[in-house]
């Protein structure tokens, strides 16, 4: 008969092991999402810089013509989404780490979420409006 295998020593509480949560309950997920958005922005920054350089010195009609291209609009939209998501996660981590009043922390996280969504939606609207030529 073999002896039962003892679980590895862990600093996690039994409830955390049951729920499969770390100390902050979601920190690992936020960590990886922030790294994923950073990689996405790193890959997209060169095409975005090229598009911005193409737009220099053009009027609105010229900008609409360049942004009317589907690949360019998609690249800009992906960059905006990744940037807004990255910004939201980064500010949320700062708020959760440095704001100690629970009510102020909740209000700050809510304001951060609304601000990030508003920036993303305004940017997406502008890109779609310019790319559609309206």
Distance CA 20, CA 103 (A): 27
pLDDT value at 50 more than 90 = yes
Average pLDDT over residues 73-79: 96
Distance CA 82, CA 34 (A): 9
Share of the chain above pLDDT 70, in %: 80
């Amino acid at each position: 008969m073999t002896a039962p295998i003892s679980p590895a020593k862990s600093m996690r509480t039994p409830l955390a092991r049951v729920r499969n949560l770390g100390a902050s309950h979601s920190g690992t997920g936020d960590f990886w999402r922030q790294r994923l958005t950073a990689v996405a922005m790193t890959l997209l920054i060169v095409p975005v810089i090229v598009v911005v350089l193409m737009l220099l010195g053009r009027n609105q009609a010229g900008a609409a013509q360049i942004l009317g291209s589907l690949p360019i609009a998609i690249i800009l939209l992906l960059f905006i989404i990744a940037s807004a998501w990255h910004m939201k996660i980064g500010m949320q981590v700062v708020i959760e780490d440095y704001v100690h009043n629970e009510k102020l922390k909740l209000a700050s996280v809510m304001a951060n979420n609304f601000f990030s969504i508003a920036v993303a939606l305004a940017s997406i609207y502008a890109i779609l409006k310019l790319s559609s030529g309206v």
